[in-house]
Structure 1
Amino acid sequence: MSGLGEAAPTGAAAIWRGRLAVWAALLALLGATLALAYVPLGRFGLVVALGIAAAKALLVVLLFMHLRKPDPLLRLTAFASLVFVAFLLTLTFADVLTRAAPTQPGTVLPRSGPDLPATGQRAF
C-alpha cells in the first residue's frame, strides 16, 4: 500500500460534503477580505489581508491539492515551487529596495500642470 487514498471518502455524498465545506470556508474568507477592505485598520490592514490570504492558500493547498499526505515526489515538487517563488520575491524586493528615491537630486521627473509645452515636445 502506498498510503494514498486509503482514508479517502468513497461515496459521492461524502466527497461533495467535504468539498462544499471547503468552498463555504473559502467564500467566508472572501467575504471577510471584502468587508475588511472598507474597515480603516491603519497599519494592520496589510497584516490582516495577508493573514486571510494565507488561510485561503492553506485551505487550497491542503484540501484541493491533497498535500496533507502526499507522496514524496509531490512533496518535493511543492517544496521546489515554494523555493522558486521565495527566490523571485527576494529578487523583486532587492530590486525595489535598491532603487533611488525619485526625490533625490538628479532624478528626472515628468512635468505636470499648465506649463506643459503645447507643441508636442516631450515633457521631460
Structure 2
Amino acid sequence: MTGHDTEHHAVPARTNMLVWAALMMLTAITVGVTAYDFGFLNVVVALSVATTKAGLVILWFMHLRYEGRVIRLMVFTAFVILAIAIGFTFFDVAYR
C-alpha cells in the first residue's frame, strides 16, 4: 500500500500527558474566570480559552500536526470562517 494509510505517528506518552495537563489547566482557567465579571469581554475570554483547548486537541490528539499544509490550511480556514460567523452575531448584541 502506498499513501497516507501506511503512515503512523507514535506520539510519546510524555507529550500526551503534557497536552492533557495543559487542557486541565485551561479547564481550571475556564472555571476560574467565571468568578470575575469582564463585562462584554466575558464571551471573548471564554471563546479564547475554548479555542486554545480545541487547537490542542486538534493538533495532538487528532494528529493535525503531522498532516500536510493543504489539510492544515483547510482546518484553519474553517476556524476563520467560524470566527467570522460568531463575530457577526456580536453585531446584533452590540447594536440593540
Please tell me the TM-score bracket, short chain as reference.
0.5 to 0.7
Q: Number of aligned residue pairs: give it.
A: 88
Gaps of 5+ in 1: 102-124
How far apart in 1 are the matches of 2:80 and 2:37? 34
The runs of 4+ residues in structure 1 deviating greater than 2 Å are 1-6, 71-86
1:66 matched to 2:51: no
Task: Tell me what 2:37 maps to.
Answer: 40
Amino acid across the alignment from 1:36: V
How far apart in 2 are the matches of 1:80 and 1:48? 22
Matches within 5 A, 1:50-61: 50-61=47-58
Matches within 5 A, 1:1-124: 4-5=7-8, 8-9=10-11, 14=12, 16-71=13-68, 78=75, 89=85, 93=89
Residues 53/2 of structure 1: CA separation in 2 closer, same or farther (3 Å cut):
same
Tell me how far 1:34 sits from its aligned partner. Answer: 0.5
Tell me how far 1:69 sits from its aligned partner. Answer: 2.4
Of 36-45 and 23-32, more deviation after overlay is shown by 36-45
- Taking only aligned residues, the RMSD between alpha carbons, in angstroms, comes to 3.5
How far apart in 2 are the matches of 1:46 and 1:83? 17
Residues 64/33 of structure 1: CA separation in 2 closer, same or farther (3 Å cut):
same
SS at match of 1:43: helix
Alignment TM-score, normalising by the size of structure 2: 0.63
Alignment TM-score, normalising by the size of structure 1: 0.51
